[in-house]
Amino acid sequence: MSFQQSIRIFSLPCYLVGLVFLFVTSACVSQEKERAEKNTGNEVVIDLNRLTYTIANEHDQFYSFIGVRALAMVHLAMHNAFNAISPEFACYAFEGEAPNADPIAAAATATQFILEKAYPTRKDTISLICSKWLEQVEEGAAKAEGIALGKLVAQKLIGLREGDGHEKQGNYTPMTKPGDYQYTPGFDYVWKPDFSYAKPFTLDSITQFRSPAPPAFASETYEASFEEVKIYGRKGSKERSEEQTHIGHWWAEFGEHSWNRIGRITAVESHLSLRESARLFALLNMNLYDLYLVSFDSKYHYDTWRPYTAIREAGSDNNPNTAADPQWEPDMVTPPWPEYPSAHAAVGAAGAEIVSQVYGTAEVPFTMTSVTAQPPGSERSYTNLDEVADHCAASRIWNGFHFRFATEEGKKQGRQLARYVVNKFLLPLDEKSKEY
């Protein structure tokens, strides 16, 4: 029995009465659904994104994969539910129809199921917000069908992601030859050194977009990048402008923060539809998850040193044009993982690519602050998403984390994966998946 059949079972005491009952009931459900559709903007998607983001951030500030995984699952569930009700885009690993289901009831129910599974200690908060949305839906068959649909799409995704390895850490031992990653101040460990067990949302393999090897020590590219970060990424640098310092700190937050916030702001300001909003957040977050897999596969494959180590130990790289400075320190505390390529640059470029694809242009204006802004609460305004990607990448040089060759490769890798995702998944129904 199909899902549509399973949620539309009617009693038939006799042929004629049954037909009348079926006609009247279907008409009433359709009218309920039409009222819900007519009065539904994207507010439920925005609010449930904010709920998921807030709980994930409060849990561990996105230092694990739990948060971005939950964001991807919540929005894929909403996307699947909305398109089971009224198909506009292809679903993700889901087949089913529920044309008379209420979309708000489906979204709230799916979100509650997924979040309570991911964050069982936060059931009270999750229930409070999701129940608020459910209470707005008129009692009746459309609400009941929406609740049933929400449970179904949530359970499907929970089953798909069972045992996906997102919680595993792996083991790591630093090597010692010049160029190898060494622990940086404040850390005697690295973050998630083994992704071989991790299950992507969109990829056949996490090596699918592995970066080419970084430039050799003797290359002009390495020399130029070395000198740039040595000058502009230094703590207290006199050459780094006040604007560059502000950008470096402002963009220091993880991409889970910035791109979900950009999504919320632009979806509201552009009046993005219910389905388009769910699709935007689903694309952003499953791309984020897979991009971390791709980037960190490359990072641990090449296992290269950070500027902190490279500049202090430049005497060991056999390049007379890279002078050592044993006292050099970065402007901000270096994260605990290898340098090449830049995951942050990749996330910025991928976010810009996806949002540009959804809106059909890179000219998407917004104004916002960030959780790492200095001074706190200071805003930046942008009108072009390509500039956003460039600032996000350059910030890693200006705060002393990365060489430019790593940020350039990160941007390239991020764009590649983003184009793959938007060309293969959640496509408008009149488009076919594109070869990549």
The per-residue pLDDT for 114 is 98
* Domain range list for the chain: 3-161, 220-424
CA-CA distances (angstroms) from residue 48 to 108, 132, 286?
8, 11, 16
Query: What CATH number should be reported for the domain whose range is 3-161?
Result: 1.20.144
Rounded to whole angstroms, how far apart are CA atoms 386 and 363?
Answer: 9
- List, in sequence order, every beta strand (DSSP E) within 292-378: 366-368
- 223-242 pLDDT per residue, tens: 999 999 999 999 999 999 99
Would you call 1 exposed, middle or buried from its count of C-beta atoms within 10 A (0-12, 13-18, 19+)?
Answer: exposed
Q: What is the mean pLDDT of residues 93-104?
A: 97
Q: For 49, left (φ over 0), alpha (ψ -120 to 50), or beta?
A: alpha
- 374-411 pLDDT per residue, tens: 999 999 999 999 999 999 999 999 999 999 999 999 99
381: helix, strand or coil: strand
The pLDDT confidence band at residue 194, using thresholds 50, 70 and 90, is: confident
Residue 16 pLDDT more than 90?
Answer: no
Nearest to 174 by CA among 309, 328, 317, 64: 309
- 288-316 pLDDT per residue, tens: 999 999 999 999 999 999 999 999 999 99
The per-residue pLDDT for 21 is 30
CATH 1.10.606.20 is held by the domain 220-424: yes
Rounded to whole angstroms, how far apart are CA atoms 419 and 216?
Answer: 29
Helix runs in 251-316, H state only: 255-269, 274-302, 307-312
| Cα end-to-end span (Å), the chain | 36
Would you say 392 and 407 are in contact if contact means Cβ atoms under 8 Å apart?
Answer: no
The per-residue pLDDT for 84 is 98
Q: Tokens in use for 69?
A: 């995984």
Rounded to whole angstroms, how far apart are CA atoms 381 and 116?
Answer: 36
Would you say 273 and 89 are in contact if contact means Cβ atoms under 8 Å apart?
Answer: no
